[in-house]
Structure 1
Amino acid sequence: MIAPTPLHAAIFDMDGTLVDNMRYHSEAWVALSQRLGLEATAERFEREFAGKKNEEILPILLGRHVPADELARLAEEKETHYRKLYAPHLALMRGAEAFIARLRGTGVRLAIATAAPTGNRTMVLDGLGIRSLFARVVGAEEVTRGKPAPDIFLAAAKALEVEPSTCVVFEDAVNGIIAARAAGMVAVGITTTTPPEVLREAGAQWVAPDFATLPPDLEARLLITSS
């Protein structure tokens, strides 16, 4: 039997993965949609738009081209509302702190790859004091296409100076799982917003509700790196 490729790097999505915040994003998107006279549901934002950049979401939502100044204004309205909603609840996903410490202890290189704009990243990463735990934070502004395109994960692997095939990605959204697999990476689905069977169908090799309950065979695969 051919041994699996050692995993040298772990790449984390942020929203819905490192923090359980997607309900607040959805609430902010629904509020903006209603103000604009549009019908929208939280489920649509969680399933269809998670992982996409605001400049990709807003034209789809509005059904037309959105000039840059309008796009910036609407995006800031939504993100400001989201931060106000989520700030009182800011917390790492269960088990994430211990898991990240374990990975760092085994020499696994760590990165974050997120479509979250700068203000949102600042609130989470600096608010929780975890930015320094990651060798690189790759944002949507560094790539042309958002998820499900693989660009942001490939950029993270390049920044970490590792081959994509040696990376494991932790994601909560279908678009993110598809992006990870398209990048040639191992994909783990965190089931904060999406049922496990849906994440598996998208290509997740493993699924778990949080980082405290990761499957034993995934844990064993990660231990290959430290041996």
Structure 2
Amino acid sequence: MLEQMKGAIFDLDGVIVDTAKYHFLAWRSLTEELGFEFTEEHNERLKGVSRMTSLDILLEIGNLEFTEAKKLEMAGKKNRLYVEYISQLDQSELMPGVKEYLKRLRKRGVGIALGSASKNALFILDKLNIARMFDAVIDGNKVSRAKPDPEVFQTACHELGLQPRECVVFEDAQAGVAAGKAAGMQVVGIGKPEVLREADLVITGLHEL
């Protein structure tokens, strides 16, 4: 699978860098204002989904309802907090083995793309000093449908000029694995095999490769 691939499409959070902790802190700050507790267990439900979908899940947890205008305002506030946190990012926060594996893929002539729901993806890649290693960056600014919809991976595949069967997706979330499979691609899951059962291969991190 990995030897034959012509394109590698990576999720961002939990695969390239662990920004989940910053999402958690920003969401928790918002829920404290709203008057309910937001736990790390709750945060697991937000992995791999868009900002507005995350907010909907959050409000469901708190059993709250707001107008669309108010929800947009809250999502904007959360994002400003998140951007404050990630503005301090540097290369030291790359997940183990990421830079080495990307270099190896480039040497082999494999196309490299990012497929993330994050609207801050390019900002984060710049902070990590690896933006130049990607041939295509597909993020929440370029697609409208959140994972498990395959749109983000289909778009990345198209920008690489490849067919789905030629691409492998690297994902840490169930929704992302489902999106990769729906796009007709093979998927490497990064995390626990019992959680990422639909993946073709499960590893603990890119350092294994």
TM-score of the pair, normalised by structure 2: 0.87
Aligned to 1:49: 46
Find out whether 1:108 has 2:110 as its counterpart.
yes
Q: Return 5+ residue gaps in structure 2 as ranges.
A: none
Q: Provide the aligned length of Structure 1 versus Structure 2.
A: 203
Q: Aligned equivalents of 2:67 and 2:49: distance in 1?
A: 16
For the 8 Å contact 1:12–1:113, the answer to whether it is kept is yes
Q: Return 5+ residue gaps in structure 1 as ranges.
A: 215-227
> How far apart are residue 56 of structure 1 and its match?
1.9
Deviations 1:64-116 (A, max 9, x none): 4642x433322232122223334445421111101000101111001001111
> How far apart are residue 55 of structure 1 and its match?
2.0
TM-score of the pair, normalised by structure 1: 0.81
Aligned to 1:72: 72
Aligned to 2:31: 33
CA gap of 1:174–1:31, structure 2 versus 1, over 3 A, is same
SS of equivalent to 2:115: strand
Give the structure with the larger helix fraction.
1
Q: Percent identity?
A: 37
For the 8 Å contact 2:165–2:184, the answer to whether it is kept is yes
Query: What letter matches 1:188 in structure 2?
Result: V
SS of equivalent to 2:207: coil
> How far apart are residue 145 of structure 1 and its match?
1.2
> How far apart are residue 5 of structure 1 and its match?
9.3
Find out whether 1:95 has 2:70 as its counterpart.
no
Query: What letter matches 1:205 in structure 2?
Result: D
Q: How does 1:115-194 map to 2 (within 5 A)?
A: 115-117=117-119, 120-191=120-191
